[in-house]
Structures are given as structure tokens and as C-alpha cells.
Structure 1
Amino acid sequence: MAQKKSSHRTAEEKAATAAKRDARRARTERARAQAEERRKAAKRKEQLTRFGLVAGVLALIVGGYFLVTNLGSDKPDTAPSGASGNYGMVIGDADAPKEIVVYEDFLCPFCGQLEKTVRDQLDAAVEAGEVNVEYRPLPFLERISDYSPESANAFAVVLDASGPEVAKAFHDLLFDNQPSEEGPFPSKDDLVDLAVEAGAKESDVRPGIEDMAFEGWVDAAGDAASKDGINSTPTVFVDGQKAEGQTLADIAKAMVG
């Protein structure tokens, strides 16, 4: 009897020991599982943190790009010396009985045609003190070619460096050498050559022409014209009234007729 009782206790002890062993294994497995879950969670957090930093940097880059794009040119709209307060250049007697304003684009073919039609008579009227003319170059056709803002900037550079007389000669040469809207378009070197031909000193105008020194002013001129309802070139005002007509000849007549 005593031996049987001992055997029974031994079996119970073995069972208890096995149960404890299984319990330890279960706890160990749970601990391992929890540790693995914590490791994975820490890794996910690290990845999210890195992703957040990258996304933040990308947001700054993209946001900065759109900010610069929406602001347009980052150059100041400082006016060239000799420019009017309306983004133009005035030639002729300030007290002349007739005042003309011409919105133009050096790439616009109709501006070129009007210029050729009225130039001689208009220049004579200016010389006689009968009229003053304000030329306001615009970059309206930049959707076609960069030559539109580049030539307007070059005009501003020449005005700033060499004064109205040389700028007027340069203005005339730009129209005399006007490219087709289909191109090919004059290079900045070509613009420098025309400026020198007009009477400017190369060292005075090349840096500003190459670096688009008055790009901000040119952009501001275009914005101001659009706000004033100018949506095409040439647009001409004679004594404050818009010159109307079905043809360029009608507009020319209002200017010099």
C-alpha cells in the first residue's frame, strides 16, 4: 500500500512538473511574441518617422516650387532710368498738344506693320513739337517665344544705360529686324548687336540683356496692361481715347491724320 501511494504521488509530481514546464514555455512564447510585436511596432514607427521627414522635405520643395511659379519672376520690378511711371518711354515735348500711347510687342506682326506705316510721319510730328508718344513694350507673346520678353527687357536695358534717344533708335531697329512669329528668333547676342548699332556701348548693355536685368519690370508692365483692359497689341490711345478702326490704316489715321 505504501509503495502504491508513493507511486501515485510521483505521478502527480511528474504531472505538476510537466504542467509548470508547459506554463513556463507558454509564458516564454508569449514573451517572445510580445517582444517581436514591440520590435515590429518600433520598426513601423521608425519607418513612419522617416517617411514623415521625407514627405515634409518634399512638401517644402514642391511648395517652394509652386510659390516661385505663382509669383512669376523673382527679380524686382525696378524701372530703368528714363522710364515713365506707366512702364513706357516718352519721346517728344511734354507740353505737346497731342499725346499718343502705344502698347506694343516687338514680336507682334501687326505692331510691326503699324510702326512701318506711321513712323516717318510720327517722328516728324514729334520733331515739330506737335505730339509726344509713349511706347509701352509688353511681353504678351511670350507664349509663342521668349523673344517677346527678351526684346522688351533689352529695350529697358538700353533705355537705362543709354537714354531715350538711343532707346528709340533701338526700338526702330527691333521692328526693322522683326522675326516671324514662326521663327527663327534673334538670340540675345543679336539683341546686343542691334543695341550697339543703335548707339549703345556693348559693355553697358550686354550684362543686362543676357541676365534679363529688367525682367521683373517687363512682367509688371504686362500685368498692369492686363489690369487696364489691354488684351491685344497694338493698342493705341490718342489724347486718352482708344483709337478704333477696322484696319491698321484706321488706327494710323487717328495717330497721324
Structure 2
Amino acid sequence: MSQKIKAPNDKNRSFLWGIVALVVICVVFIGFMVFNGRKSSDIELSAADVSFSVAVEDGVIQLRSTDGGGGDVPTADVYEDYSCTHCADLSEVDGDSIQAAVEAGQLNANLHSVNFLDSNGNESSSRTGAVAMAIADTGDAGAFWAFHDKAFTDQAEVARDWRFDELADAAEQLGVESDVVESIRDESVMEKYKPSLQANGDRLRELMGDQAGTPALYIDGEYLTVQRDPEDPSKLKDWVPDVIGRDEADADAPKESGAATETESSDAE
């Protein structure tokens, strides 16, 4: 019976290839960890150049003119969820208009953050909403508005991917006070602001019942349907020009013509 005779270096070659494979795996793993670790340090944000004030009152983020306006003007109550795609669509078309109208003293804006879309253990709505409220609570309007814009413009990255370290780094980039940045990093921001997000959601359910969903818009307490842009139905219509341009006689009767857009419902919790 014949036996196959192996070359004396075969075992050494196998051992060396095993070492090479192990080194490659380690390099890939370390590279992955370094990439993830650098993700938050790559954040580059700066505060927005705005001339309105921001304050948090009973869990509501209030934007007001700093130039003496904002008295007898329409008040818009906007209910939004930082994980809601339709809210991101609305922010895309009304963000600049809200800023301009508030700065000009033509509109008061109240932003009600809710957490309807927390689901399956992923508290993306609560996490981003709590951080937004914490930044607004510092009174730094530029930092808040820049974060609000970033959160909705890059929703998939911020709401669904960023965790507290990335959010804290973003707040730090925006010049937010160090104690607030630390409260974001150690996650205590959730304990402080999540109840406000839930209360805002409960308030919207009281207003809309089973139809509660985001985005939802109220002008001087009256519901205003969010419409599609007639020139581009793939987008939502900017409602601000219609609201600030209404005749005084129509101020208490917002128009609701046109089909309502889809909303992301509280049933998704």
C-alpha cells in the first residue's frame, strides 16, 4: 500500500497562510472600528445666521421675532417627528419661509416635537427630538435652527444612524454649552425631555383623535391641511406665504382646499 509523501514545507506554508489570513481579518476589523470611531469626529456644523429667538415653554419650542414684531400675527403650531419622512419633506419647503416670516415679525412658530415613530426598541424620534429640545432650551437660536435643518435634511443619517456620541459632537460643533453637550453624551437628555415629546403626542391625539399623525399644522388653533405643490405634486406646498398673506378678515379661517398629504401616524409606535 503506497503512501503519499508530503513535502516538508507544506505544513509551514499552511501555517503561514493561516497567519496571513488572520492578519487580514484583524486589519479589516480595526479599519472598521476606526472608521466608526471617526464618524462622529467628521461632523462639521456651524450655527445658522438667524435673527429670531428660541425658547422652550411646556415642551413647545417657540420661535419669535427679535425685532419687535410677532405680536398680532398668525401663530403656527407645527407637530413634527424627527423620524417622519413627510415632516422632512415639509421642512424642505417651509424651513426658509418660516425663518424669514418669523424674523420679519409676520409669524410666530411653535414647534411640537413628538415621538410617534419610536418602534422596535429604536428610539430615533425620542433621541433626536430630545437633543433638539435640549439645544433649543439653551436659547441659542442659531444652534437650534442649524440642528433642526440638519436633522431633517439628512434624516436617514441623523435620526436613524446617529447615536448620542454623534449627536453630542454635533451639538459641540454648534457651540452648545458644555454641560448640555455632556447631558447628550451621557444620555440623561432623554430622561429630561422624552416626557415632553410624549405630552406633545398626547396633545395631538386630543386634537385629531385616531387620525393623529405628522406633520400636522394648526394656524391660530385651526387645522390647516398640508397640500401637495400643484406645480410639482411630488413635493409639498410651502404654506407660509398663504398664511402671512391672508387678508385680516380671513385670519381666523385658514383655507383647507386641496387633498391632504399622507401623514405618519401614531399607530406606528
Q: Please indicate the TM-score interval, normalised by the length of the shorter structure.
A: 0.5 to 0.7
Match of 1:178 among 155, 159, 169: 155
Cα distance per residue 1:48-83 (max 9 Å; x no partner): xxxxxxxxxxxxxxxxxxxxxxxxxxxxxxxxx931
Alpha-carbon spacing, 1:253–1:117, altered in 2? closer, same or farther (3 Å): closer
Alpha-carbon spacing, 1:253–1:218, altered in 2? closer, same or farther (3 Å): closer
Greater percentage in strand? 2
Structure 1: gaps of 5 or more residues: 1-80
Bigger radius of gyration: 1
Structure 2: gaps of 5 or more residues: 1-53, 243-269
SS at match of 1:174: helix
In structure 1, give the amino acid aligned to 2:240.
Answer: M
Within 2, Cα distance between the matches of 1:236 and 1:242? 6
Within 1, Cα distance between the matches of 2:64 and 2:55? 13
Within 2, Cα distance between the matches of 1:247 and 1:180? 26
Match of 1:115 among 75, 86, 91: 91
Within 1, Cα distance between the matches of 2:155 and 2:238? 23
Within 1, Cα distance between the matches of 2:91 and 2:226? 16
In structure 1, give the amino acid aligned to 2:135.
Answer: V
Match of 1:91 among 49, 63, 67: 63
Q: In 2, are the aligned partners of 1:98 and 1:132 still within 8 Å (CA)?
A: yes
Matched with 2:12 is none
Displacement of 1:196? 2.2
Within 2, Cα distance between the matches of 1:136 and 1:119? 15
Displacement of 1:96? 4.8
- The sequence identity of aligned pairs, in percent, is 23
Q: Give the CA RMSD over aligned residues.
A: 2.7
SS at match of 2:155: coil
TM-score by length of 1: 0.59
Which segments of structure 1 move beyond 6 Å, counting only runs of 4 or more?
Answer: 248-251
SS at match of 1:100: strand
TM-score by length of 2: 0.57
SS at match of 1:90: strand
In structure 1, give the amino acid aligned to 2:217.
Answer: V
Matched with 1:166 is 143
Q: In 1, are the aligned partners of 2:55 and 2:139 still within 8 Å (CA)?
A: no
233-242 or 209-218, which moves further after superposition? 209-218
